[in-house]
A and B are shown apart, each in its own frame.
Chain A
Amino acid sequence: GALVYQYPRRTICKSGTSMRMECQAVGFQATSVAWYRQSPQKTFELIALSTVNSAIKYEQNFTQEKFPISHPNLSFSSMTVLNAYLEDRGLYLCGASARSQNTLYFGAGTRLSVL
């Protein structure tokens, strides 16, 4: 079946530092990868959508300069939170889908705490 792994599961970083999180798709080719954030007391917000052979599309309020994403092949993606501050804490989810599918399969998420 389709599985998505994210790591680390939890991480803590100091305010102003950066943190990289990774996403691995197993059992299918992840032609599209979406990164979401769930801030405390909020729902999941889309940060950006990456589709192979297309430019990464960032949502309003999220930028490449703050959340650079790499999607080098059909099984892996990473995202870095640069210069993290308190408002960046939350659960970051990676969702991946194959070309022919209309469904995003999610990992368990990376929970980021900022001190």
Chain B
Amino acid sequence: GDSVTQTEGQVTVSESKSLIINCTYSATSIGYPNLFWYVRYPGEGLQLLLKVITAGQKGSSRGFEATYNKEATSFHLQKASVQESDSAVYYCALKTGGLSGKLTFGEGTQVTVIS
């Protein structure tokens, strides 16, 4: 089946430094999957951060960027300068099977930004 692998466990980064969370995927369905980053802030639900449905395109939101690299089957999340408010759990996900298809999540990466 489909699978998503992302930077494991916890990442601690100092405020104003750069952040990268690696994400690679494997999709067994025909065609290219749609790729997503979701974020869960402390005490809140899962929110969509950004999505890219076309290979080669870049998505961006709140200073975060991710590029859909079909050759490397990667969708790494980056931010040039993080803030304390970016502390959260980030989940990479892929969707196959069209509009009513299945969304598969990675394990999640806990990001803690320290001042």
Contact = CB atoms under 8 A, between A and B. Distances in A.
Given A32-B100, A102-B53, A43 B45 contact: no
B25 interface: no
B45 A44 contact: no
Contacts of B108: 43
B15 interface: no
Contacts, number: 52
Which DSSP category, helix, strand, loop or mixed, fits chain B's interface? strand
B75 interface: no
Contacts of B45: 4, 6, 93, 106-109
A106 B36 CA distance: 13
Q: Contact residue range for chain A?
A: 20 to 34
Given A102-B34, A105-B48, A95 B107 contact: no
A104 interface: yes
Interface of B: 34, 36, 38, 44-48, 51, 53, 91, 95, 99-100, 102-108
